[in-house]
Amino acid sequence: MNISIFGLGYVGVVSAGCLASRGHKIIGVDINENKVDMLNKGISPIIEKDLPELLSQAKEKGLLSATTDTANAINSSEISLICVGTPSRANGSLNTKYIENVCEQIGDCLKLKKDAHILIFRSTMLPGTNRETIIPLLEKRSEKKEGKDFFVVFNPEFLREGTAVYDFNNPPKTVIGASTPSIADKVLKLYEGLPGPMIKTTLEVAEMVKYVDNNFHALKITFANEIGHICKKLGLDSHDVMNIFMQDTKLNISTYYLKPGFAFGGSCLPKDLRAINYMAKMLDLETPLLNSLMHSNNVQILATIKQIILYGKKKIGIAGFSFKAGTDDLRESPIIEVIETLLGKGYDLKLYDKSVSIAKLMGANKEYINNHIPHISSLMVDSLDVLLKDREVIIIGNNDKEFERLLSDSREDQIIYDLVRIGAISNARSNYQGICW
């Protein structure tokens, strides 16, 4: 394919070299004449392993050129990659002026172009930027319609400096955000044969994925550093500790605990988090990340209570109030705090959890139930049908399979508030609402 690449910075030049190595004809575009001249000579304007060889080979094969002329680039290509910078403003907000300037120029050129054109944005942008800013700007300048005369795609990059060529050819995933499936398929062909899943999604989800990736990386670095300082104070080798930690790919390095939902609880996480924060304090260490986790968890509990109050209904049913399905453990179950707060505010509550019902009669938690939460015990009912009969709001508190029927068996006038994303929510009725989705 003939591809123009706008912005000959890090992402743009790496994309140029790697796409040219896959046989595509590349024309780079930049306002910096020095970068344009270097690329026209097959010389890399950035330092990056393996990139000089790729650009030199592309130049020899006649697959690489560069220009400052936007119209020439648009008319000479069927696809454009936009890789200009989106830096931060002083207040932390995203500065999109450079990408808007490029889009104004591209829009003016599209106005005169007969053939439909595909615009692939690789510049990192906040969710909604393409839909709310970029597309309207392009439509205004081109006097054409996105989805008909031109197509906007968001294709986030996952390149690390120093290994960018390797990363381009060995991506963990390839994400294409587009409104037109056939266009998404065409863009995916640029990366045909590369490893990793090929994912088609919406523009907004694709935009958000890049932020989730980078913020999680920042979280991991900060977490490791705080653990490192604690280990050092204790005379431990933090790398020994973390190397053992990372060998657990069932829980630690895995997809577990990365699904949005309700607050954490149980007999381990809150207790151990408080203990390590106390120890850090005794060691005279600042661990702001670890110290913030309980607060963030409490915010999730308070947000849930606030949402229930906003419904303006008094008859509330709780389906599942042990801290997770298949257990009778109520120790530090966050839903207990919700229940007690609602009781204190005069709500009419009914509770159902088959595991807790068994524990009430004979389980290890019988004493805990009778001695610590007898007021809650008295609100328990024997079946889900009791909740379905007269509750105005039913809260799904854990992911017991039994609760999936609430999605279909509830009445239209009953609100189902899901804290765990139970079952196939795509089949849920209009009265369904999830806590984080």
Return the pLDDT at 371: 73
209, 156 contact by CB (below 8 A): yes
- The predicted-structure confidence for 270-282, as pLDDT tens digits, reads as follows 999 999 999 999 9
**Same domain flag for 184 and 317:** no
Asked whether the predicted pLDDT for residue 95 surpasses 70, the reply is yes
For Cα atoms 36, 38, 44, give the angle at the middle one, nearest 5 degrees.
Answer: 115
CATH number of the structural domain spanning residue 358: 3.40.50.720
Residue 229, Cα to own-chain centre: how many angstroms?
A: 29
As a whole number, the mean pLDDT across the chain is 94
Return the pLDDT at 327: 77
Range of the domain at 329: 298-434
Q: What is the tally of structural domains in the chain?
A: 2
d(CA 392, CA 169): 54
Q: Which is the catalytic residue, given 83, 109, 231, 268? A: 268
Residue 164 lies in a domain: yes
Q: Give the pLDDT mean for 320-325.
A: 84
d(CA 153, CA 191): 14
Return the pLDDT at 19: 98
Q: Give the pLDDT mean for 76-96.
A: 94
427, 408 contact by CB (below 8 A): yes
Return the pLDDT at 231: 97
436 annotated active-site: no
**Same domain flag for 197 and 308:** no
Return the pLDDT at 375: 82
Residue 333 lies in a domain: yes
**Same domain flag for 164 and 309:** no
Asked whether the predicted pLDDT for residue 185 surpasses 60, the reply is yes
178, 187 contact by CB (below 8 A): yes
**Same domain flag for 195 and 315:** no
**Same domain flag for 50 and 164:** yes
Return the pLDDT at 282: 96
Asked whether the predicted pLDDT for residue 361 surpasses 60, the reply is no
Which one of 157, 173, 203 terminates a domain? Answer: 203
Residue 264 lies in a domain: no
Asked whether the predicted pLDDT for residue 344 surpasses 90, the reply is yes
Residue 261 lies in a domain: no
- The predicted-structure confidence for 372-407, as pLDDT tens digits, reads as follows 778 888 899 999 999 999 999 999 999 999 999 999
Asked whether the predicted pLDDT for residue 258 surpasses 80, the reply is yes
**Same domain flag for 339 and 195:** no
Of the listed ranges 231-245, 319-333, 412-426, the one predicted with least confidence? 319-333
Residue 256 lies in a domain: no
Residue 254 lies in a domain: no
Residue 15 lies in a domain: yes
Specify the amino acid at residue 210. K
Which one of 203, 221, 246 terminates a domain? Answer: 203
Which one of 168, 203, 238 terminates a domain? Answer: 203
- The predicted-structure confidence for 289-309, as pLDDT tens digits, reads as follows 999 999 999 999 999 999 999
Residue 396: beta bridge partners?
319, 418
Residue 95 lies in a domain: yes
For Cα atoms 381, 385, 390, give the angle at the middle one, nearest 5 degrees.
Answer: 85
